[in-house]
């Protein structure tokens, strides 16, 4: 598994990371299934594990199954919204600090490698108190580094501010706005770059969208594919999507979520074989996106 430092943090992250939202949908009594998936990833060289206070049972399942391997994980979570029966107002310093303490308890650890603000808007960022809360938690040793997770204007503000160590943002073959608007500035500032949604919900080559949540990706994929045969493309559409996401050198890690051991094995097998997309295939996908983005005013999908 290819390992690289996560920007200026120096945290050693695998280029294939694990997003833990889907694990969060399991019940606590299904800890054995969660443990199988998580241990399989870790045993195969995956180091970056990304969760959130919002992901239902995700943090609790990680704490229940992975405490004995804590030192092997680069463990990231997110804070800001009101979740889990918490009584308070979202996007306040107190809510962020309480969320971090709750995450530490649920994850059964005394420190986090990274805490990220979970997609707040520019108004919240400009107010500043949630950023100060992250910095307070960092000084207290509760988190080693701080980051921002989100897209569009919020992500651009976070990148330009210089206040965050990492950026987590959407990037895939049908959602390439970050390539044009964010990656260059973030990389120049030494930020670690974490890509979410790298397989675009499996939109490329799929017959239909599985949910309204993914409709935008499926419409874009249909339009891009309508521009003609994509020469040099990998026959496996998931491998094509992952290959495209990781073809950009600025990307440190791309997180893919699953609660299935079989899917995890398939993702790891792809990462270990490291099939590079031909440069002309990457360029053609970028060209198609840019043409259609200009025509239809595409932004990052949130």
pLDDT string in tens for the chain (302-residue length): 899 999 999 999 999 999 999 999 999 999 999 999 999 999 999 999 999 999 999 999 999 999 999 999 999 999 999 998 888 999 999 999 999 999 999 999 999 999 999 999 999 999 999 999 999 999 999 999 999 999 999 999 999 999 999 999 999 999 999 999 999 999 999 999 999 999 998 899 877 766 677 889 999 999 999 999 988 777 788 889 999 999 999 999 999 999 999 999 998 988 887 667 889 999 999 999 999 999 999 999 88
Residue 170 lies in a domain: yes
Residue 11 lies in a domain: yes
Domain carrying residue 37: 3-201+242-274
The SS3 assignment for 155 reads helix
Residue 293 lies in a domain: no
Helix-helix angle 215-225:279-296, to 10 degrees: 110
Residue 146 lies in a domain: yes
Residue 142 lies in a domain: yes
> Per the structure, how many domains does the chain have?
1
Q: CB-side exposure of 287: number of CA atoms within 13 Å?
A: 9
Residue 46 lies in a domain: yes
Residue 233 lies in a domain: no
What is the chain's length? 302
Residue 234 lies in a domain: no
For residue 91, what is the domain's CATH number? 3.20.20.100
Q: Nearest to residue 111, comparing CAs of 77, 148, 61, 68?
A: 77
User: Cβ contacts of residue 132 below 8 Å, gap of 6+?
Assistant: 93
């Amino acid at each position: 598994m290819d390992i690289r430092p996560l920007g200026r943090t120096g945290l050693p992250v695998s280029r294939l990371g694990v997003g833990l939202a889907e694990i969060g949908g399991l019940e606590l009594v299904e800890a054995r299934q969660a443990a199988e998936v998580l241990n399989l990833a870790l045993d195969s060289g995956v180091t970056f594990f990304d969760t959130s206070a919002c992901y239902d049972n995700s943090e609790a399942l990680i704490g229940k199954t992975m405490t004995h391997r804590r030192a092997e994980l680069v463990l990231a979570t997110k804070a800001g919204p009101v979740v889990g029966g918490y009584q308070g107002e979202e996007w306040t310093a107190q809510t962020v600090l309480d969320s971090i303490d709750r995450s530490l308890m649920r994850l059964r650890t005394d420190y986090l490698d990274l805490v990220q603000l979970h997609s707040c808007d520019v108004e919240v960022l400009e107010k500043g108190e949630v950023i100060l809360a992250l910095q307070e938690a960092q000084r207290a040793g509760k988190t080693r580094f701080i980051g921002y997770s989100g897209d569009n204007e919020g992500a651009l503000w976070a990148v330009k501010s210089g206040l965050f160590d990492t950026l987590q943002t959407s990037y895939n073959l049908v959602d390439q706005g970050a390539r044009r608007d964010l990656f260059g500035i973030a990389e120049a500032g030494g930020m670690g770059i974490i890509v979410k949604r790298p397989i675009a919900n499996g939109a490329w080559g799929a017959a239909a969208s599985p949910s309204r949540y993914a409709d935008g990706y499926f419409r874009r994929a249909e339009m891009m594919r309508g521009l003609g045969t994509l020469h040099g493309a990998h026959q496996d559409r998931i491998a094509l999507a992952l290959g495209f996401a990781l073809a950009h050198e600025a990307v440190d890690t791309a997180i893919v979520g699953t609660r299935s051991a079989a899917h995890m094995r398939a993702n790891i097998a792809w990462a270990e074989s490291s099939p590079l997309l031909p440069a002309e295939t990457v360029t053609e996908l970028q060209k198609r996106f840019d043409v259609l983005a200009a025509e239809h005013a595409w932004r990052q999908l949130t």
